Amino acid sequence: MPIEIPNLDDRTYDDLVQEALSMIPTHAPEWTNHNPSDPGIMLIELFAYITEMLLYRLNRVTNANRQAFLNLIDSDDTGNKKFPTPLNEVELNRKILAAVKQLREGDRAVTSQDYENLVLQEFSEKISRVYCVSRRNKELQTYNNIVQRPGYINLVIVPKSSGSQSSIESIQLSDITLTPELKKSVNDILENKRLLTTKIKIYQPNYVYIKVDLKIYLKPDFTEQNVRPSVEKALKDFLDPLSWEFGRNVYISEIYQLIDQISGVDYIEPIKNKDELTVDKLLLGEQQKIETEINNINSRFLTKNTSQLIGIKIYQDELAVWSKPKSQLEFPSKGLNVFSSNS
């Protein structure tokens, strides 16, 4: 026995009138005359009457009407009806369900999410992550001069490693290069799905290597050999480009909180005359080379009251990576006031 389709909108005339009256104090507080003789109340009652009739009719749509709507949403390019002969109720429900599911599948790229979903759907075995930056022309702007450019779509793609490593820190540049073949394949797929006049730019993200310099004081009965591996793993997992959100800044408070939660850590201090966070280098995906010196690095510093450093700026098409070789994690001994250097 088939399940009876429930009435999804069973509001009555009285329900509709009371709902409209309850909204008057919020949207029109100066309207205080709610008597039936008021012209506005008369209109509310009239519209409630008409709405109740429409709801009654909607809950009595015949199979012939449903099949007519099905032919509208599931027609072929010739304009002919796909289902010209009447279908029984079971077959009709099955066809409607299939048509609705097909409508929910993305076939056109309109929003930024559409572009990301289409690329990951088509290239799930070759692409690890994709991020869409809209209304930007990368070729006509700098980081300090971002101009709105309607119609431009930038797809920042993180290819899957061709090697066995899973971390950006351990793989070679050649393993994460966006090859011309993959770039062309992505562009060809989107060419038939984009909106007219939309210009698409595809490139790799920049990887910002963050150097962490901190003094980490340990609790009694804990040694550097016990705690250092946990601290390094926590930093590596936190500043991981395979999970780091595009354009998310790196804040010192987050690093302090991360390390402070590790078993054996008592408290943390900055190293004298050193910033807790600095940019070690950039791995430039577009130029496919490593730049060891950062121009205008001060523009990346996030400060409080123009003096106190609170974090590092990460731009929209960039991902953060922990620079382990250059980071200095000191574990001072409270009694002897000495530390073991990071080797």
Task: Tell me whether residue 283 is exposed, middle or buried, using C-beta atoms within 10 angstroms of its C-beta: 0 to 12, 13 to 18, 19 or more.
Answer: buried
Q: Is the pLDDT of residue 218 over 80?
A: yes
Report DSSP letters for 188-242, one per residue.
HHHHTTBPTT-EEEEEPPEEEEEEEEEEEEEPTT--HHHHHHHHHHHHHHHT-TT
What are the residue ranges of helices labelled H in 29-179? 39-58, 63-73, 89-104, 112-122
In degrees and rounded to multiples of 5, residue 227 shows phi and psi of -100, -35
Q: Lowest-pLDDT range, 61-70, 84-93, 162-171, 224-233? A: 162-171
Please give the CATH number for the structural domain made up of 112-203: 3.30.300
Q: Are 218 and 264 in contact (CB under 8 A)?
A: yes
| Cα separation, 142 vs 255, whole angstroms | 29
Domain-wise residue ranges, the chain:
13-104, 112-203, 206-330
Of the pLDDT bands very low, low, confident and very high (cuts 50, 70, 90), residue 334 is low
- Give the tens place of pLDDT for each residue, 268-322: 999 999 999 999 888 776 554 444 445 556 678 898 887 789 999 998 889 999 9
Q: Report which DSSP code applies to 32.
A: -
Q: Lowest-pLDDT range, 109-118, 180-189, 300-309? A: 300-309
- Give the tens place of pLDDT for each residue, 30-84: 999 999 999 999 999 999 999 999 888 877 778 888 899 888 888 776 767 888 8
Report DSSP letters for 159-186, one per residue.
EPPSSS---TTTS-GGGS---HHHHHHH
Query: For helices 180-191 and 112-122, what crossing angle results, to 10°?
Result: 120
Counts of helices then strands in the chain (DSSP H, E): 8, 12
Q: Are 48 and 16 in contact (CB under 8 A)?
A: yes
In degrees and rounded to multiples of 5, residue 131 shows phi and psi of -135, 135
- Give the tens place of pLDDT for each residue, 232-280: 999 999 999 889 999 999 999 999 999 999 999 999 999 999 999 999 8
